[in-house]
Amino acid sequence: MLDQKTINRILMAFGIVGVALLFAVPIIGSRAMVQDLFGVLTLLILAQNWNLLAGFAGLVSVGQQAFVGVGAYAMFACVILLGLDPLVGILVGGFVAMALAVPMAFFAFRLAGAYFAIGTWVVAEIVRLCFAQWKALGGGTGTSLPKGTTKNMFGVPEIKELLGVSSSAASDALTYWLALVLALATLGAGYFFLRSRMGLGLQAIRDNDEAARSVGVNPTRLKAWVFMLTAFGTGICGALLFIQITRVTPEAAFSVLDWTAFVIFITVIGGIGTLPGPIVGVVFFYILQRALSDYGTVYLIVLGSIGIIVMLFARRGLWGLFSDKTGIELLSLRQYAPETKPNPLAQIK
């Protein structure tokens, strides 16, 4: 029987090989594969952010599409109105989403528990309806990135030369690598944040609000931080997504189904409140979508039903089930008491 440390080392090795393979996909894989995996990775980024929000900070938001949409629109505005590089637009998208999070938190944090979900949803609707009025970016019908934008994007000509592929394949490769880096960064940031003093405070609030307050944790401030940081991550992801899509409309950019509902199911099925959960969930979602792709919206019915079953019978999702059965913990957030040195005086009697 292997002990926990050996198992962890083996899994870690698998993880590193897996990540290396993922980085190599644009070189060794087909373009369709790159595009498919880009979709999976962006969903994973959204799910990781939502998991931090709902699973660790207890903020069940149904309005994350607001940040995706705002990020996307900010990127489009940078490219079309200011003539900036789309990659700069991505960063701007993140900051604009974060800026939106401030008034949104100010309003939604007044609503307790379940009403927070409705409040965020309503704010997302308001933002969508406002962007539909922005005539410079096409109003209700939306707009496209100018022709050639992605071909001349920073780094694309170099990749084109290096890999010897077409411009559009090179731009796919670039957005794919960015998505992969962003997904890994979100995972790493989530891990270190949750292991930090702030993260510990957050989990203390989740487990017992009053006890956490009594030892000096300020729940509102911590939650506001998480809300803003996840808005940043979600906004960046939204901007990145729409560089690949190249066309933005209010309906697509602020879609509650694409950017929030899927993300919720992925997190719940994979394991809410665990770091590996979203990864397991996104793999499951991808397989399900592929297997049922010939049957219209049936996969949504199946997805919803599985989400309900998981919530009823296995609240910590597939990862939680696996972890309980095997005792394997990955990216564990468990804190151990410091080892006490044997007291030399205890020997002398």
Partner 1 sequence: MIWVDTLVQGILLGGLYALFAAGLSLVFGVMRLVNLAHGDLIVLAAFVILTIATTLGLHPFVAVFLAMPIMFAVGWGLQTYILNRVLGDDILPPLLVTFGLSVVIQNTLLETFSADSQKLTAGPIEAQSVALGPTTVGLTPLLTLASAILVIFALNQLFYRTKLGRAFRATSDDPVTVGLMVIRPNNVFAIATGIAMVVATIAALYLGVRANFDPTIGPARLLYAFQAVIIGGLGSLWGTLAGGIIIGVAQALGAAVNPEWQLLSGHVAFVLVLLFRPRGLFPRAND
Which residues are near partner 1 by CB under 8 A? Answer: 54, 58, 60, 62, 107, 110-111, 113-115, 117-119, 121-123, 125-126, 129-130, 132-133, 140, 256-257, 261, 264-265, 268, 272, 296-298, 300-301, 303-305, 307-308, 311-312, 315
- Hey, what are 24's tokens? 């190599």
DSSP percent split of the chain into helix, strand, coil, nearest 5: 75, 0, 25
| Residue number, 131 or 242, with CB nearest to partner 1 | 131
Q: How far is the CB of 53 from partner 1 (least distance, A)?
A: 12
Q: How far is the CB of 224 from partner 1 (least distance, A)?
A: 17
Q: How far is the CB of 73 from partner 1 (least distance, A)?
A: 17
Q: How far is the CB of 310 from partner 1 (least distance, A)?
A: 9
Measured CA to CA, the distance from residue 283 to residue 41 in angstroms comes to: 10
Q: How far is the CB of 304 from partner 1 (least distance, A)?
A: 4
| Residue number, 1 or 114, with CB nearest to partner 1 | 114
**How far is CA 283 from each of CA 37, 270, 319, rounded to the nearest angstrom?**
10, 9, 12
- Hey, what are 190's tokens? 């989530």
| Residue number, 65 or 171, with CB nearest to partner 1 | 65
**How far is CA 155 from each of CA 34, 86, 171, 244, rounded to the nearest angstrom?**
17, 11, 8, 15
| Residue number, 111 or 328, with CB nearest to partner 1 | 111
Q: How far is the CB of 101 from partner 1 (least distance, A)?
A: 16
Bridge partners for 248 per DSSP: 143
| Residue number, 9 or 110, with CB nearest to partner 1 | 110
Burial class, 299, CB count within 10 angstroms (exposed 0-12 / middle 13-18 / buried 19+) = middle
- Hey, what are 106's tokens? 């100010």
| Residue number, 216 or 296, with CB nearest to partner 1 | 296
- DSSP code per residue over 244-311: HH-EE-HHHHT-HIIIIIHHHHHHHHH-TTSSSHHHHHHHHHHHHHHHTTTSTTHHHHHHHHHHHHHH
